[in-house]
Amino acid sequence: MAIAPVVRPARFDETPAVLRIHRLAFGEEDEAVLVRRLLTDRSAQPCVSLIALQGDEPVGHVLFTRASLVGEDETRVALLAPLAVVPTAQKQGVGGALTRAGIAVLKAQGVELCFVLGHPGYYPRHGFTPAGVLGFEAPYPIPEKDAGAWMVQGLCKGVIGQVRGKVVPAEKLRRAEYWRE
């Protein structure tokens, strides 16, 4: 039986462990490099960086960064990217625990919308719905075959349907290669 994860804010001194989680989860360096860049990107602040522990072992991490909507300066927006769980802890609820905890923090901060480009079979379980059909354009074009991967979650009542527009991510996420599912 898996140990329920403890989810809490990641400390600066845990950055090496956070980057290790991303390397193990994705089997490459790309996401770790992105996380390192976003953690120091002023345009991504305030960000929510959460780590999941099973016992004393870091097993998961999620990063939510500030974003905006073109023409909607008053709407507070965040972007979930990336979410990582080490292979030995996958399919044990770690990713869901991280996502729920992050959404709770964002709501407490007054963030109104959270976007993600991710697996359309996973994120709807955590409250996300396709964003394009609701009038939210991704920072870069999403191929039609992947349209369901661009998703949004309204974090306060009534915001979806009241605003729409193109999402502008933090500076370090403004590269077309990050917007391919």
* Structural domain harbouring 71: 6-171
pTM of the model: 0.95
Task: Decide: 47 and 35 in contact? Cβ < 8 Å.
Answer: no
pLDDT confidence of residue 50:
98
Total domains in the chain come to: 1
Question: What residues have CB less than 8 Å from 73, skipping those under 6 apart?
Answer: none
Residue 67: Cβ within 10 Å count:
23
Give counts: helices (H), strands (E), the chain: 3, 9
pLDDT confidence of residue 177:
87
Answer whether residue 96 is part of any domain: yes
CATH code (residue 162): 3.40.630.30
Tokens of 66: 């500030």
Task: Decide: 65 and 163 in contact? Cβ < 8 Å.
Answer: no
Answer whether residue 129 is part of any domain: yes
User: Average pLDDT, stretch 132-148?
Assistant: 94
Please give the DSSP secondary-structure letter assigned to residue 117.
Answer: E
Single out the residue of 79, 6, 13, 15 nearest to residue 46, CA to CA.
79
Answer whether residue 111 is part of any domain: yes
Q: How far apart are CA 109 and CA 46, in angstroms?
A: 10
Answer whether residue 98 is part of any domain: yes
Query: Is residue 2 scored above 70 in pLDDT?
Result: no
Q: How far apart are CA 31 and CA 33, in angstroms?
A: 5
pLDDT confidence of residue 155:
97
Task: Decide: 150 and 131 in contact? Cβ < 8 Å.
Answer: yes
Answer whether residue 177 is part of any domain: no
pLDDT confidence of residue 181:
60
Answer whether residue 176 is part of any domain: no
Task: Decide: 6 and 53 in contact? Cβ < 8 Å.
Answer: yes
Q: What is the pLDDT of residues 56-108, one digit of tens each?
A: 999 999 999 999 999 888 999 999 999 999 999 999 999 999 999 999 999 99
Q: What is the pLDDT of residues 157-170, one digit of tens each?
A: 999 999 999 999 99
Q: How far apart are CA 135 and CA 173, in angstroms?
A: 21
